[in-house]
Structure 1
Amino acid sequence: MAAGAALPDSARAQDFEPFQLDAIIVGGGLTPIEAERYGRSVTVVESKDLQEQQIRHTSEGLRALPGVEVSQTGGVGGLTQVRIRGSEGNHTLVLIDGIKVADPTSGEYDFANMLSDGIERVEVLRGPQSSIFGSNAIGGVVNVITKTATEPGFHAYGEGELGSEESIGGNLSLNYANDYARLTVSGAQRNTDGYNFSGGPSDGADGNAIGTLNARAEFDVNDDIVIGTTFRRIDRNSEYDQFNYGAATVADLVTDANLETDVTNNFASAYATMDAWNKRFRSEFFFGLADIDTIDIDNGAKTFDTTSTRQQLHYRGTVALDNADVESANHLVSTQIESEYETFKNNDAQLVYSPSQLQKESRQLYGYVLEYRGSFFDDNLTIQATGRHDENDDFEDTDTWSVGLSYLLPNQTSRLHTSAGTAVQNPTFYEQFGYDPATFIGNPNLTPEESIGYDIGLEQRLWQDRVVLDVTYFHSDLTDEISTIYDPVTFASTPINEDGTSERQGLEVSAEMRLDNGIRLGVDYTYLDAHDPDGEIEVRRPRNEVGVRAFYQLPNDKTLIGAQLRAVADNFDFDYTAAGIVDPSNPERIQLKDYALLNLTAQHELLPNVTVTGRIDNLFDTGYSEVLGYAGRGRVFFAGLQGTF
């Protein structure tokens, strides 16, 4: 795990290797870019990081990363939101193999749906990214890339794990590659009886079952043409408790109930890359499809049943300006033309209030992007500039831009990186069209939220590249923020664009250290100051959060032990008790308890290609809450076995 760096395997004193800073950031623009040339802020989490920390749900690998805040309503299966730099959950754009996976209904992706199985890397791009990706990228982008076969021949990987709370899980991956084809199929299933989200007796435990199927195929038609396809299916059933708005006390906000949700996601893509003019010009075609079905159940009866879809189609063309091929050129111009078609539909006539609510709602969006990237002064200075125009059929069009600069100082160990840009967030289907005409009325006159922000940072390599330190300051202003107002007579609510500005600023610090004795250390810290247009502190975004990682590779080179500490302070949430909602449009804020959690991991190679694993989460059984009323997970134990062949 590193800020723009790919970390090599642990090494002994006699074969120490420094950090490698030439990792490729796939989602850094219209073309991949080396981390050392990238002016914006990024953290890359590799599959190796996920394996070493024995992370089974992707959101756990994002906690405590610089500028990232994760909140969960209870444990596994609870609504899991990822915010970046103090923005809202629906201001984080999530991509899986280029497919936008957020639900158009809410504009947000629930990370409870994402296992880490089958994932090769996760790029967390911080700061406004709409000039590249369009709506939803106000805070940043989580770009997920699944695994593909790389080694020639047939290979397989399997893993199984048992743990506390009657947890059982595992995955199996099959891979084949030759000179012109790369094929991967993998599946994972993880079930748990869970614990009681309300914090009550254990016989009210809230369970979760989630399965994922991945497939990826890529073919080299010839030296200039590559075609491929990806598929990912997710099936999840989660139990949860009743939230009681206006409860008498905090303890009464969440109570035991027989509630559950069934989620089915299908994501698919097809793509082709074609080179011409001696590889100086590259054309890329991409089609992506997302189909998201959600059903909520109360005591066996459906209370919610919807389907939303998204179709993406884009063409991207890139030309090298300096007589080199696209891969090695120092000066590139890229353009992209894309269309996006989204739909939403209520599926059950018994769950709506009028026949009109069964009508499928849809909207069409078009985007036009132009990007220049150039490197100067022996590649020490790189400039990246992007502009975008979006045409929206149901609300006003938008224009966004961004500029990034990376400069390697003459000492060759200090790198300045800075960026600035604008971003937008389109209204969601609920906000546009409403849900229940008696309680939630849509507003067709909403305009997109708009943000402008910048950051400036310094990356410093020390001690013959054994240490990499990065410090970044960021600031952004959000206008036309969409919020909800309530009618005190009818209790109906409707979304509006607020006046004023929401300000977010802070400091991100990351450090990675490798010692000659097999010890690796990592520290990430975020200070965040985020307020709404009224000057009130933004909730579920801790002001202070720090993560510390330590790993020790024993001299036998077969045993790795690790510890991960995460501490959170100054986190607030809305007080939805009766005393806190005297004004429903502006609930009181209440500070949550500060906490620190310690996890331990260990793995040992029993035989060649056979490894036994073990971990303890929340070693000291610390009581905590990330969302008011919902109890955090207590101490749990896991043991597993991994094998490759």
Structure 2
Amino acid sequence: MKLSPLAAQFGTVTFCLLASPLVLAEDATTLDEIIVTADRKARTVDATLAPVSIITRADIEKYQASSIPDVLRHVPGINLSNSGGVGKATSVFIRGTNSSHVLVLIDGVKVGSATTGSVAFEDLPLDQVERIEVVRGPRSSLYGSEAIGGVIQIFTRKGGKGFQPEASLSAGSHNTQKANMNLAGGDATTWYNLNAGTEKTDGIDVTANHQEPDADGYDRDSLSLRAGHRFADDTTLEVSALRAAGENHFDSSFNNETHFTQQTLSGKLQHRVNDNTLLTAQIGQARDDADNYLNGTPLAAFRTYNTQRDTASLQANVDVGSRGAITLGLDQQRDTVESDSAYDRTSRDNTGLFASYQTDMGANRLEVSARHDDNEQFGTHNSGGIAVGRDLRNGMRVTAAYGTAFKAPTFNDLYYPFSGDASLQPEESQNAELGVAGKLAGGKTTWSANAFSNSIDNLISYRPPTYQVSQTDKARIQGLELSTGTQLAGWDIAANVTLQNPENRSGTDAGKTLIYRPKQLASVDIDRALGKFRVGATVRGESQRYTDDANTESAKLSGYGTLDLRADYRLAKDWTIGAKLGNVLDKDYQTNSGYNQDGVNGLVTVKYAPK
């Protein structure tokens, strides 16, 4: 792969970091942290063989991130396509796969639109997020359809012992105003967290051609609740709810305003049968509702797109001997569409059976998983995965993995007027991966490198300018992820570089790069605490990307690099003030063709959190 100058510089820096024992460090995660997404059960990061990243509440506050897409930019292998700034449609790509190849969970409930197949990350409130777990690579063998590129799980905030109130106010560029209140508490057996927030911004003019030369605003109100209780017989009941609703304005001669609602409900019951067996039952519902308007008037047609996803799961985790564990599970899912557009079909069911086995054999580790899905519309589909790892004497680990995955076409893919194709078949993938990771200084410093090759059959895409759906016979994405970080002279430094080649492998566009995929991604975070002060910076760079399948010069978006600065100050024991400057160098760039990105922008936040 030929590197752009920007990516080459980042690559050189990262290679030096990897090569120097003085600055080797970890990929934003400590190895004894617990992660549940990779294997559908609680395991330490060190125990799982999958490439994972964890974004904690402390990370969110350190970065002074203002949205979920904003914080996901720090994760290796992720690039975004945004349609005009805060609150505007944002696609998340993992390792060069489609944005619809990312399976997203909120508190264990599968979310997303049954029509578009993607998740409106821009509408989910970051203030109500406790942590985010990102697993890179296929996970259909555990989760079923969609997990071709990876899995992102978002956990809402959870209370703990004592009463813990928190409040914040923010103001910034484009008349941005935010307020959030969080009430958390509990004791040894009961916990709760209630969060309410509101956000409003005038926004920027989203289109580069100034089709409507005005600012395009966004506002959202949100509410979340998470509560649980542990009974005397080692049974735990937890419920959670998240709702975000608001308005989004943009530029279009057809419709220029959307009223949206994102809602997730969940109930989970866990019972420990004995020291070796844990049973979990969970039910959930996710809604993605949108009503479209033109200049404040409801559209006569193509107005309403409401989708609902009802899920239920039953899972057993069983320890086998001193070093082995088995997971068995059943998933049930029903997707429903309610719209004034004519869909030939508006609902379908899917049943999935899955099993996995993990074992440690001295320095060797083995993970095997398999799943059988029965889709009401597309019949049965089998997927599987295997990963092996070996711990070496010098603190290193080598891993190898292979996994298959699939994705059923969405209702828009099949039936949307003017662009759908009812003959589409499920997408299928085969991913092979090699990894090596190491840690030094007693585990305080780590590094990792992962090489992957993902072959996808029947890849579904929408070809501009007509955006008619099409299905590519074959595509292949090969890449290398490098992650490192350290504490050097009091500075916390984390860096990652992704080099990838997302390539069409068939038809007249064989050998061309898949649209909206840069070949090089790089990110560096630098932070330091100085008494009551904390300062930091993020440098982000992406290479050029194409917006058409033929990779014509006129359809190329240039690469870019941005610099963000941040600082906060502890005014008193319970009070903190923070300020962030985004795109300090005022770079003019686009991540989606024809849509502006914000120039220099700022946000100031005052937070009250009694200790």
Deviation of 1:381 after TM superposition, in Å, equals 2.6
| Cα gap change, 1:610 to 1:200, in 2 (>3 Å) | farther
Cα displacement (A) at 1:200: 6.2
Q: Distance in 1 between matches of 2:69 and 2:566?
A: 18
CA shift, 1:447, in A, is 2.0
**TM-aligned CA deviation for residue 518 of structure 1:** 2.4
Instruction: Show the counterpart of 1:205.
Output: 215
Alignment of 1:404-553 (within 5 A): 404-411=387-394, 413-432=395-414, 434-436=415-417, 439-443=418-422, 445-483=423-461, 495=469, 497-499=471-473, 501-515=474-488, 517-532=489-504, 533=506, 534-553=510-529
TM-score (norm. length: structure 2): 0.90
Match of 2:577? 612
CA 1:523–1:59: 2 relative to 1, 3 Å: same
Residue 107 of structure 1, CA deviation: 1.0
Partners of 2:389 and 2:168 in 1: CA distance: 41
Q: Secondary structure at the match of 2:159?
A: coil
Partner of 1:182: 191
Amino acid at match of 1:521: I
2:261 and 2:389 mapped to 1: Cα distance? 42
Structure 1 distance, partners of 2:184, 2:420, is 50
* Distance in 2, Cα, partners of 1:50 & 1:344: 34
CA contact (8 A) 1:548 1:565 kept: yes
> Mapping of 1:120-199 within 5 angstroms?
120-150=130-160, 152-199=161-208
Give yes or no for the alignment of 1:71 onto 2:36.
no
C-alpha distance after superposition, 1:44-71 (max 9, x if no partner): 1111111001001011111152111111
Q: Which segments of 5 or more consecutive residues in structure 2 lack a partner in the other structure?
A: 1-27
Q: Distance in 1 between matches of 2:443 and 2:278?
A: 35
Paired position in structure 2 for 1:393: 376
**1:407 Cα deviation (Å)?**
2.4
C-alpha displacement of 1:203: 5.7
Contact 1:542 1:570 (8 Å CA) reproduced: yes
Shift of 1:312: 0.5
SS at match of 1:30: coil
Instruction: Determine whether 1:287 maps to 2:294.
Output: no
Q: Are the counterparts in 1 of residues 141 and 385 from structure 2 also a CA contact under 8 Å?
A: yes
Deviations 1:26-60 (A, max 9, x none): 11113222111211111111111110010010111
Instruction: Give the alignment of 1:38-117 within 5 angstroms.
Output: 38-117=48-127
1:624 aligned counterpart, secondary structure? coil
TM-score of the superposition, structure 1-length normalised? 0.85
Partner residue of 2:545 out of 559, 568, 571: 571
Q: In structure 2, what is the equivalent of residue 325 of structure 1?
A: none
Q: Distance in 1 between matches of 2:40 and 2:404?
A: 17
SS in 1 for 2:555: strand
Deviations 1:338-370 (A, max 9, x none): 110111121x4xxx4xxxx38871101000001
In structure 1, the partner of 2:351 is: 366
1:637 matched residue in structure 2: 602
Classify the secondary structure of the residue corresponding to 2:100. helix
Structure 2 counterpart of 1:249: none
Q: Give the conservation status (yes or no) of the 8 Å contact 2:124–2:262.
A: no
Structure-to-structure mapping, 1:248-397, within 5 angstroms? 259-276=256-273, 278-303=274-299, 304-322=303-321, 330-346=323-339, 348=340, 352=341, 357=342, 361-377=346-362, 380-397=363-380
Contact 1:162–1:640 at 8 Å: present in 2 too?
A: yes
- For 2:560 and 2:374, the matched residues in 1 are separated by 46
Counterpart CA distance in 2 for 1:589 and 1:225 is 61
1:396 and 1:447 in contact (8 A); partners too: no
Give the C-alpha shift of residue 330 in structure 1.
Answer: 2.6
- Contact 2:106 2:155 (C-alpha < 8 Å) held by counterparts: yes
Distance change (3 Å), C-alpha of 1:163 and 1:401: same
**Cα deviations across residues 584-637 of structure 1 (Å, max 9, x unaligned)?**
xx9887221221111000011110021111110011111111011111111111
The 3 A distance-change label for structure 1 pair 397 and 587 is farther
- Give the residue type in structure 1 aligned to 2:542: V
Cα deviation, residue 92, structure 1:
0.6
- Distance in 1 between residues matched to 2:205 and 2:470, nearest whole Å: 36
Q: Counterpart of 1:285 in structure 2: which amino acid?
A: A
1:407 and 1:147 mapped to 2: Cα distance?
Answer: 36
Q: Deviations over 1:422-451 (max 9, x none)?
A: 00010101223x132xx23440x4321000
Q: How far apart are the structure 2 equivalents of 1:266 and 1:231?
A: 7
Instruction: Determine what percentage of the aligned residue pairs are the same residue.
Output: 26
CA distance in 2 between counterparts of 1:120 and 1:485 reads: 37
Q: C-alpha separation between the residues in 2 aligned to 1:417 and 1:60?
A: 30
Q: Residue 586 of structure 2: SS of its match in structure 1? A: coil
Please state how far the C-alpha of 1:521 moved relative to its aligned partner. 0.5
Structure 1 residues 163 and 506 mapped into 2: Cα distance closer, same or farther (>3 Å)?
Answer: same
Residues 503 and 552 (structure 1 numbering): CA distance in 2 closer, same or farther, change over 3 Å? same
Alignment gaps of 5+ in structure 1: 1-17, 244-256, 323-328, 581-585
Letter in 2 for 1:290: A
The aligned counterpart of 2:14 is none
> For the structure 1 residues 134 and 604, does the alpha-carbon distance in structure 2 shift closer, same or farther, using more than 3 Å as the test?
same
Cα 1:366–1:34 shift into 2, 3 Å: same
Write out aligned runs for 1:211-250 (5 A).
Answer: 211-242=221-252
Query: Residues of 2 paired with 1:495 and 1:629: CA distance?
Result: 20
- 1:598 maps to what in 2? 563
Measured at CA, do residues 98 and 464 of structure 1 come closer, stay the same or move farther in structure 2, by a change above 3 Å? closer
Out of 232-241 and 476-485, give the one that drifted further. 476-485
